[in-house]
Structure 1
């Protein structure tokens, strides 16, 4: 009996976490689709990233696949255009100021300075700027 009660308690906890995650994803995607006429996303290899032992649990927890599916469905309903940057686009390695592309940038490096123009970049902010430029040129 105790084992059944524990299993039921655990199932309720998992359902609660799933509902919290889905609620967040629905709210975030709805907000994005309501406030932006064009949304740029990177076509990431999520299945490949889930094979990385260090990142898999964290990637699965945030639900990137569900986020993208919800975003695309809601964008289609509202007539919002989604622009996808290719999987191999060097968004993190390209300087958003001058366009210089680093030959290599390991994942452990979170900030870098452009050797051509000397601008210091945060990896994620720089990628976001490059995605914005990509979306504006395609749109």
Structure 2
């Protein structure tokens, strides 16, 4: 995925964000499930889904972190979400476990592209979590 995306003519489309279909499907799924769990009051499950969605976005769009930080600087003080090392480690472990479970599922059903994406995401989760909030 690149932002801006490329038009058929080869020129950039300002403001467009394009994901390969499998990544877009999984990203949408995790964003939706994060919201479902949040509405249900299941914050740990919501957090795991949100961390995976963020990691998928970061793995597909190298500019995600900079873009989010720029917008975040206008909207909130990002230090409000600083975490203890214990909370960070717990969130990372839950998200990694979920990513590996989903990878195993996709291997089992023969969907190698999705399985490979989750293996990559699992490897990148520590960086994704570090990009979310500063270490305390």
Aligning the two structures, in what range does the TM-score lie when normalised by the shorter sequence? under 0.3
Larger Rg: 1
Richer in strand (by share) = 1
TM-score of the aligned structures, taking structure 2 as reference length: 0.25
